[in-house]
A and B are shown apart, each in its own frame.
Chain A
Amino acid sequence: MEDMSSYFFHMLYLAKMVHDSPRLKKEWPSFGSIPLDEDAFYELSLELAVSIFEDTSNYYNAESGIETWVLSDPAVDRFCELCTRLETEKGLEEGVNPYRRNAEQMIHESFRLNSYSYDYGWRLSPGDRGRHCILFFSDDDFYGLEELPVAFMDILDGFQELNRQLEAELGLNKLVPIYPLRNEWKEAA
């Protein structure tokens, strides 16, 4: 019996993820012709990893052997905008904003990969230069490319969920906030 290793199932899972996402499927006209084999699996993983965030760039530094991914998206921009608005309205410091802490925790959890030789960061503070983004770094020993699409998707979904909660907190939608502000923050406001 052939040992199919895990690529077959992982690819099936990723393909299902693409199929269930109208935005991803729309951008993928050749989706149906991709064969379910190991070579196509890595191509699919890479294509998918660069397609999840609306703006994804990656740079390879040949001297250091480090590849840097810069992930930006309107959902991330919206999160930063809503956080700044909440902090202004409630008189909160960035460091005690529970939504920023939840975002950081969500990023940590999403980047728990089975591979090694990688690092990550974020530029979400109003004090950071350039567009707000998530950063992912990997070196030549990194072998977890196929894990990135799910990690990126989890992060994007996480920001969209946090945005819904923030909008509820700010009274911009009718949802009840899941993490209501603690009394001391309300008093500070």
Chain B
Amino acid sequence: MSMKLNLKLLATRFSQAKDEPSVSDGGVNRYLLEQVLRPNLEGELLRLGDIDFGAFDADDVPALEDYYDRLYKASQDLSQFAQTLSRVPPAPRTVRSFC
């Protein structure tokens, strides 16, 4: 089965998209997000002594996990979309487009 992609429409949709994170981090403790989760995602190994436990409540941890789950799902969806795009074989045009 062949699939056609309208790249022009895709580019328009991208340009129309709002400039905001695809997953809202509202309600997520800023300290946990910026000083704990992000460094960990960037491969930095944290030790418990590096963490300021006074900067968050125990209840902030499940909220951070929920945010991470949504972020991970969004990254999986994006990765799947990129794979779909990469699998579409290019089709030659019947008429010259340039020069």
The answer to whether A binds B is: yes
A6 proximity list for chain B (CB < 8 A): 65
Q: How distant is the Cα of A15 from the Cα of B50 in the complex, in angstroms? A: 12
B47 x A36 contact (CB < 8 A): yes
B61 proximity list for chain A (CB < 8 A): 9, 12-13, 16
**A32 CB, nearest partner CB in chain B, Å:** 3
**B62 CB, nearest partner CB in chain A, Å:** 7
CB contact between B45 and one of A2, A12, A37 (< 8 Å): that residue: A37
Q: How distant is the Cα of A174 from the Cα of B58 in the complex, in angstroms? A: 30
B80 proximity list for chain A (CB < 8 A): none
What band does the interface of chain A fall in when counting residues whose beta carbon is under 8 Å from B? 20 to 34
B49 x A4 contact (CB < 8 A): no
Asked whether A35 and B47 contact (CB < 8 A) given A4-B68, A16-B53, A17-B58, the answer is yes
Q: How distant is the Cα of A1 from the Cα of B43 in the complex, in angstroms? A: 11
Secondary structure class of chain B's binding surface, majority of residues: helix
B40 x A8 contact (CB < 8 A): yes
Q: Which parts of A101-128 form the interface with B (CB within 8 Å)? A: none
A31 proximity list for chain B (CB < 8 A): 48-49
Q: How distant is the Cα of A19 from the Cα of B51 in the complex, in angstroms? A: 10
CB contact between A34 and one of B48, B65, B76 (< 8 Å): that residue: B48
Known: A1-B72, A6-B65, A32-B48. 12 other contacts (CB 8 A): A1-B75, A9-B62, A9-B65, A9-B68, A12-B51, A16-B56, A16-B58, A20-B58, A33-B47, A33-B49, A35-B47, A36-B46
Q: Could you tell me which A residues sit within 8 Å of B by CB distance?
A: 1-4, 6, 8-9, 12-13, 15-17, 19-20, 31-37
